[in-house]
Each structure stands twice: as structure tokens, then as C-alpha cells.
Amino acid sequence: RKEVEQDPGPFNVPEGATVAFNCTYSNSASQSFFWYRQDCRKEPKLLMSVYSSGNEDGRFTAQLNRASQYISLLIRDSKLSDSATYLCVVNMEGTALIFGKGTTLSVSS
């Protein structure tokens, strides 16, 4: 199975900072891309989908570069509540989702 790779971090940032996470995937046949958020000892939950045109949801912006097989997540004006692990997820039709190992973010006051 092809992999999804992320920088594990941890990223330690102060409140209000802007932080960016990167993810690369190895299978060019990948079709759908997502960011999931996982809090400590909780299940992963969908944060947002990622589209080639880029998409934004409040303070969160996701980008996809198919040519480079690269996905990013930008968080602006970080809040304490953003502290979590962020999972990059890739899907190919007919298969189960492939999860990266996650990037840990810690936002401090």
C-alpha cells in the first residue's frame, strides 16, 4: 500500500500564530483528499475536504497540488482549542481511506 507522509511535529505555537502542515502522498491515482482532526484519546473527525482549487473554512485553508502530490493545511490565528493531532487522509476509488500518521499541534497561551 502506498503511503501518506506527514511531519509528526510536535508543532508548538503561541496563540494567534499561523501554522502550516504539509502532507505528501505517493500514489498518483489518489482521488479524494481530506484533513481529519483527532483529540487526545478520541476518535478522528472530519475537519475539511481538500480540493485542487483550494478551499477555506474560517481560519482553516486547505490546498492540493496534484502535480507535486502535496496537500497542505494552514491555520490562522491559532486558538488553544486547535491543539490536536491533524491527520492527512487520501482516498482512491474502491479502497479504504489511507491515513497519515498525523501532525501534533500544541497551542499555548
Element (H, E) at 43: none
- Round to whole Å and give the CA distance between 108 and 14: 5
Site for other proteins contains 42 (CB under 8 A): yes
Q: How far is the CB of 72 from other proteins (least distance, A)?
A: 17
Site for other proteins contains 91 (CB under 8 A): yes
Is the separation of the CB atoms in 7 and 22 below 8 Å? yes
Site for other proteins in 11-40 (CB under 8 A): 31-34
Burial annotation 58-70 (CB, 10 A radius, 16+ → b, else e):
eebbbbbeeeebe
- Choosing from 2, 45, 59, 79, the residue that interacts with other proteins (CB under 8 A) is 45
The residues of the shown chain that bind other proteins, judged by CB under 8 A, are 1, 8, 31-34, 41-46, 49, 87, 89, 91, 93-97, 99-102
